[in-house]
Amino acid sequence: MTEQDAVPTDSDVDLHVPAMRSEPRVPVLAAISAGGIAGALARYGLATAWPHPPDGFPWSTFVINVTGCFLIGVLMVIVTEVVTHKPLLRPFLGVGVLGGYTTFSTYIVDIQRAAGEGAALPALSYLALTLVGALLAVYAGTVLTRAAVRR
């Protein structure tokens, strides 16, 4: 198996990866659901502890999305290179916990709200900083974990 086959493009489910086509449905769905609850509650806790005004910078969601992206980078190296025989690990931690923890809808609606309040600069800086931060974080998570496991 080449690296291209083993590492999915879509970390949730990628039908180009043979092993992901025939995942046992009920245990996988249960693991995703349980992980989703844990991730969403962590996000809810952080967002409640760290609120922001409608025209302000949504720091809690920014931190949630950037840390979640770092962790998906870490996790995907671990499940494709280290712990390859735990079929529920990626569904639980990746699809469930990190998918439930990070959010695209809140990111979008917070941009919309800030722009609607006339706060164009916070809206645009939040839009761009999250994108750049998230992509750098997933890259850093991947590279650092790969360096650590190959040592």
Partner 1 sequence: MITVLLVALGAAIGAPLRYLTDRAVQARHDSVFPWGTFTVNVCGSLVLGFLTALPTSPSVTALLGTGFCGALTTYSTFSFETLRLVQQGARFYALVNVIASVVAGLGAAAIGLLLAQAVD
Neighbours of 94 (CB within 10 A): 22
Q: Per CB under 8 A, does 33 bind partner 1?
A: yes
User: Which sign does the torsion angle of CA 41, 42, 44, 45 carry?
Assistant: positive
Contact predicate 91/28, CB 8 Å? yes
Q: Per CB under 8 A, does 145 bind partner 1?
A: no
Q: Per CB under 8 A, does 58 bind partner 1?
A: no
Among 139, 147, 148, 149, binds partner 1 (CB under 8 A): 139
Contact predicate 35/96, CB 8 Å? yes
Task: Tell me whether residue 133 is exposed, middle or buried, using C-beta atoms within 10 angstroms of its C-beta: 0 to 12, 13 to 18, 19 or more.
Answer: middle
Q: Per CB under 8 A, does 4 bind partner 1?
A: yes
Look at residues 48, 54, 36 and name the one whose alpha carbon lies nearest to residue 109.
54
Site string for partner 1, 98-137 (x = CB under 8 A): xxxxxxxxxxxx-xxx-------------x--xx--xx-x
Q: Report the residue number, 57 or 142, with the smaller CB distance to partner 1.
A: 142
Beta carbon of residue 29, minimum distance to partner 1 (angstroms, whole number) = 5
Q: Report the residue number, 100 or 122, with the smaller CB distance to partner 1.
A: 100
